[in-house]
Amino acid sequence: MGRHFEVRAAAMAATAKAKSAAYMRASKEIYAAAKSGDPNPESNLALRSAIAKYRRDVPKDVIERAIERAKGGDATAYIEGRYEFMGPGGSNIIVDTLTDNVNRALVTVRTIVTRKGGKMASVAYNFELLGVLNFKGKTEEEVEENLILSDVDVRQVSVEDGEVEALVAPNDLEKAQNALKEIGVTEFDRAETTMYPNEWVTVPEEDLTKLKAMMEELNESEDVQNVYTNIENL
């Protein structure tokens, strides 16, 4: 299942610090989405998508408190950042931050990655922004046919160990979800836009140890929002 899920999900450490950071990520992203427009998810696509992204991983009250903060006129301003790295073993790493202190975020991310053998480099061209949906219970053929008939821009549908992965144009993510619900898909393991690698790499075991430690540190950072990588065997 590791190939299907971005590092943020696959490398979550079962520590109090990591759990706290995960809740903070959800809270910040939902707050920022609510602050950017109507705090009602019915009329705010960005907010609706953020809630859907974190609903499985965080308690309901975390989501509700973030929306209430935005409604209450909280003046906190979060700034987005993106940093790209070439990592050990031919790996590519993209780190997105959402922070109220850009300098702190840059120093923290750069320090974590470079200490584990990475270096800043342009790697985003090796990724594509896509909508990714993971779910169970359907065949490749019926999913692909349903999405095409629903006028969804489908890039790829694959099945591995019973888990379906559908890649669609990012703007068609919600349309794809609605289309799949019509054929009985009631629960998604994942439904979000993400930076998806054009090619996956398998890194040697000695590099994998360093990379796992790197991902754990990034996962625990208060400023890190998402981590994307092309590592297949992480």
Q: pLDDT for 188-219, tens place per residue?
A: 988 899 999 999 999 999 899 999 999 989 98
Contact 34, 71 (CB under 8 A): yes
The closest of 30, 233, 228 to 132, measured between CA atoms, is 228
What integer pLDDT is reported at residue 135 of this predicted model? 93
Give the pTM: 0.84
Q: What is the mean pLDDT of residues 56-81?
A: 86
CA atoms of 47 and 53, how far apart (whole Å)? 10
């054009």: which residue's tokens?
A: 198
CB atoms within 10 A of CB 103: 8
